[in-house]
A and B are shown apart, each in its own frame.
Chain A
């Protein structure tokens, strides 16, 4: 605990937290912006790859999605580095909050899963993603989706306490349930050529 206070009172953490030079809190706000953009750069394409592996958007060649991996790694490092600098600014609050450990743990597992997906789909027996995804790939993709949902929701919940945290979590669980039911239902009903093709044909 003393270490957490020491960390929080350190020069770098204090400078970021109190940054107000020339009437601008730029260091703090820039780090937060970087953290949000990095998140989008990593999770967005990752989710797209996962969904494609699970069979959504079949018109996209799975192999072509390999091109997104470099961007995903850039996003990851944006967040790792900005997070490393942001963490000490409220070290005591963050490192005594269980939700924070849920967030970091799920991110770590999600990134490991991403590496495993890369090996299985783009470098493994499947070759450059040209053959249909294996069952192992699909399980990895499903796991990745769950882990990212946990990571993002827990990141969101960190801003809240008590009752608001609980009710926010409930709201997310309800929404996810609806999306799952809706997604599965849609797939079962609409087994056509896909909405993009249908839309183009109708014009």
Chain B
């Protein structure tokens, strides 16, 4: 069926909600919209696309038809994907034939390492994520194995439509590095097409160990709805399937199944402890699993507290059943001795009866958290003490026994108890139960990490009230350009989420459900899982990342583009983790490593928002991964680590270390350093007025490795006299006077502003002549405050897209201050150069400011 028929039972309005009228109306990732596809196409075309984009079935992508080569760049032991696209001039069947590739040495990359999938399209008839520039239409999602598609006759394309074939490479761990080429064959519309294929294999192997902690929900009841199979084998298959994606499901197959747990109650012994313990042991030993969830079976408690109005109140709240919970912990601890393994190391709890604790705004949500998170900390501490009563196994040495007990106790006391919510504010309002500080690992949505202030607040909270770790989650909210798993969002965002997680030191990622095989809030049945995008009522794709395989004779789930992208992101996270390990071993601090990380991430996103509008983001991710590969090869093959770099105007100083015996060269010149304990250190200075690229090469054992880092433009120092005559009052109520002055020998432009009526003194500076654009990342402005402390907020407007965005904020103390304006966040490449900068003043107490504000502006330094 070419166009979706709105079935008579489903009365969803077909509405096109396209956000941001200033943005051209596009199909996902760059095509022109056309509800009829490419009807004018004379001949069927086969072309190639990234594995980080969604291409709609009926969108015209003719401008990309000359992109013929299927390209993949991959690490060893990694999955990476790309797409063969077929745009049909006539109704046709198609076939795909994979083939071996070879590199320059004649080494083969076997076709068996590749898998092909027929992309199934699902109709989205209403856009909920209005942050995306996408439209209603047929979105690729489910990935049906190609052979299955053929046997079910689904390898067909209607005239004018696009059909994607998702090609995934699972690069063998021992695959020789190099560039492999060859061709795959596609037949369609009576013709045969050779698709050139180019695979670059980097010489670094991703380890099997997963480091990103995840909690992705599987509801086994829902699985049985759709699979019509509730056997342990089916449940295990779903569980194992997600492990292959470096995802730790939130529930074990047997132990935490909703149906299985429904009857459990305190004081009874009906929980299937043995199966649970077996699952826990297997999980703790599985390096693919970074985290597993302890069951927190619910009970109820009556508590008294103070409500939001300050009145005493009583509530019956859900709580952790102490006896059941501690019984689990004891059973796990006892088994840990047999296994000689700290089974608690990766364990966490997630008390879903406290989920999104502040969503309703009621005090009871807060009370529920304070009660439960204190209690569970107590319960863990009691078991930590109880562990001392355990008897040593006969085969265990005293030393090991003591060590293992210590490990378990430590794991219990520092266990993460995760809690989702919008804000930290609600948890510690005081006047609650008067209990001690709970230990909460707070899990806000990823958009909450958008400001440095928030990131610092979460980190501080984690240190003071948690166990030093932070998580994040995504669901219906946030919307694009924050990363999401929404059907209508750009595919790459789900991968970039993991880059953000790593960048912002977020160790865990939560997604509430991957198996929403039902509609929420209603008993109406989803009958056709491959056609229903909206199961959680306010967002397409929310709640499901899997499709039931039953109707295609597949035992277990079918993957989708979004899940593949999540795996790619998880692997990226682990690669970054492994890179930082090299740096940590060399003694490089996290802050210093973050400077390096910034080179790889600054083109991809800014403050948790994906940079969609600054050029081809798919190409930028490829470039970032190339840089990551360069760093990993330098570190792993030659022990080369960039320990630090600092910039002072136009001078950039690097400290690099390498294994002894490695030859380093910068810009073609061999470097010399000092060697100690097998490591040679180099100090390098670069003048940006002479070179703006850091091109480092390392030679070891006849092999060469290198990286190129763009260092930015030389700093442009603008003296204050360039601003004379460019300053004016922003509001008509503001009386402004501009003069010149000299302070501490520095020439400045003095500005005095008074707003007796509105109390909002403000000024604007015409900076068009300074050509502040994408060349610069920051502008630092020296400002002298003649008076008392004031708050200064700086906003800027660009040439093409109007509207002022905040670029800086500071409390101006009396005397000299330096304000740093974040020009990179303005995306000048798309939105145009900066035209005006506004200074808005407020009193520190946020009250109106009717007194005169007098400041002076010294030099401005624009840095790239």
Do A and B make up one complex? no
List residues of B whose CB falls within 8 A of some A CB: none
